Chains A and B, each alone.
Chain A
């Protein structure tokens, strides 16, 4: 290193200043150019007012739902002249949108997702536009309004404090699936009560030489949770599980009703009614095995047929029945997860997006979700695909409840950290019903003592 003279230092300083000034000027100029180009590209959509909107979708372009929506967009643009810019983002779409919600330029005017993501990513942070006005919009091509075709019991599941934060276009419910071809007697007379169900399990277990007939991919915490949740739902009715989750003392879990419900699941586990290896397999090994005939009954959502059909044995006929009631006349409510549209509060083209929602809910468009994408829609006048006919029939009573009582929205942290690990241990046979209840009680109390 050599010393630098003041003169040289000064000139060097001048040089550095020049370079710095030039760099900063260049950076600012670049940024300004970027902003200018951004605003100019954005102004195109803004200047046309309600003439266009941007839609971020939870589907990938190759998925059947995307194809249905794409066709609807093309028809919408043709019929209304409104241009739609669609981006197929995938399941994390709301999370991707999240960081932009605090800015003035929210990039999406319309977004679709599962209800729990729409709730946590938009509604819970005050960024969901109330879609109530859409209900009074006419459904294009039909005589009625949106509120006439989308049943209120589904809308209620997406309404919080009077704000309709999601408009459902696809619904999922949980059923017990079986092969109607190999079990025609079950198809003719599905079990309606717990006693009938356990008798059926016993006979199937015997027919299988002692191997458990119940399929469960136990490494997926939700799938194990469904068993416990449904036992509680049937014993105590809708909302009991969520109320216990929010009980700051945790004492609800040791109440007689919970202990009875837990006892039913404990009996299944202790009796070896689940297929061997259910607690040590990698999803989707067990459900694929079930489709191949290695077990008889699979408790899963209405996505079960589409997920397993490539592994199904020849002639497999998808049939299902609801989780049985405790006794005749007992709770028969069906759990529901919604997939639907939401609009960010700061969307610049909300009116056009709302117009599209009403357009898409017309029978002519929405039935593609059933016919092409193989899923249930909220409209009762759209027939379910054959594989989901039993599920649609189960929903006809209109008695519905948010899946898992909505705890994945309202107490997701508790569910992940307290309930699921204990429940997995319980379903794996690592603790009795009483031990499970006691640990849930202490874990829940501890959780809420530390929660905000």
Chain B
């Protein structure tokens, strides 16, 4: 950004200060002056939108989390009571644990699959087509995928048929209450892998091929190539992917909602994550909405994202490898 809005006297040498300032003034080109004039007109709309549509509602959510409110009628200030209720609620605790399972469990599987595919696809013929196929689930709306996922896994569905054809006469009750979250987790891995594979492969494409040729000459195995060449040279991208995943994983909503819920009802509470809990408290309950605890849950989600992203950035901090 080249626009300067304030003068900083401390940066001006004490001796010939005024003279230099005048010289600086003379040097300000018409282009610079024009840019300065346009600064606020260009920034202001975005600033107003950002403040009004994002910062304002976020602050209001934080304020709401300290109140008891049904969405209409009077608002009652209750301090931290919503947070105390939240942390004493076993359903929230379970939802929070599910969220962590998604972040770390689903995330671990997604990245393992993405790295594996990256290694395989790097040397594969027709990898662009393969990449497009892998990316496809990311284009299709989650709602459509989750409905498809339901048909695949329901009793007597395609998955049951395949499993039976393989000789297992009593396939698991995939959509039963006890297995439902695991099937959701697999679905999330399926929908997410293509996206991260695509990003990681773009990073891999930037790695000079002669490094791999060098590895081949030295007789390095695929894992060794990945460990000593691919991973170090794409580390920054992996870091960005990890941050992106963390943010999106905490906010996972529609896949669970449409896959496990039906007929306008919330899914079974055993598969809720914090996003569904927040929605359930404020919007989905048939009873009086509890905007206060919903807002508190949203604030906890925000804090979780902040803490996890901070940790990830700290853990993944490395000196950039120049190549």
| A interface, CB within 8 angstroms of B | 1-9, 12, 15-16, 19-20, 23, 27, 91, 95, 98-99, 101-102, 116-117, 120-121, 124-127, 217, 219-222, 276-277, 279-285, 408-413, 415-417, 420-421, 424-425, 428, 430, 446, 450-452
Contact = CB atoms under 8 A, between A and B. Distances in A.
A223 to B, nearest CB: 8
B7 A282 contact: no
Contacts of A125: 70-73, 288
A236 B20 CA distance: 93
Contacts of A127: 72-73
B265 interface: yes
B155 A4 contact: no
B177 A282 contact: no
Interface stretch (B40-48, B99-107, B218-226, B234-242): B40-48
Contacts of B70: 124-125
7 contacts: A2-B4, A3-B11, A4-B28, A19-B41, A220-B262, A408-B287, A417-B91
B24 A1 contact: no
B286 A412 contact: yes
Contacts of A222: 263, 265
Contacts of A285: 154-155
- Chain A interface, DSSP helix/strand/loop, else mixed: helix
B89 A116 contact: no
B177 A277 contact: no
Contacts of A117: 286
Contacts of B32: 2
A279 B268 CA distance: 13
A43 to B, nearest CB: 25
A3 B287 contact: no
B169 interface: no
B28 A430 contact: no
A410 B287 contact: yes
B90 interface: yes
Contacts of A284: 262-263
A430 B4 contact: no
A446 B5 contact: no
B61 to A, nearest CB: 14
A3 B40 contact: no
B205 to A, nearest CB: 36
Contacts, number: 169
A415 B7 CA distance: 63
B190 interface: no
A409 B287 contact: yes
Contact of A424 (B2, B48, B177): B177
Nearest to A450: B88
Contacts of B280: 416
Given A2-B24, A5-B24, A124-B288, 13 more contacts: A4-B4, A4-B24, A6-B21, A12-B37, A91-B264, A99-B72, A116-B287, A125-B70, A279-B176, A280-B174, A410-B287, A411-B287, A416-B269
Contacts of A410: 287
Contact of A3 (B24, B85, B89, B285): B24
Nearest to B155: A277
Interface in B1-53: 2, 4-8, 11-12, 20-22, 24-25, 27-28, 32, 36-37, 39-41, 44, 48
B268 A221 contact: yes
A235 to B, nearest CB: 25
A280 B154 contact: yes
Nearest to A307: B263
B286 A4 contact: no
B289 interface: yes
Contact of B285 (A4, A120, A221): A120
A210 B312 CA distance: 56
A50 to B, nearest CB: 25
A125 B71 CA distance: 8
A217 B263 CA distance: 11
A152 to B, nearest CB: 25
B173 interface: yes
Contacts of A408: 286-287
B175 A280 contact: yes
A412 B287 contact: yes
B212 interface: no
A1 B1 CA distance: 9
B182 to A, nearest CB: 13
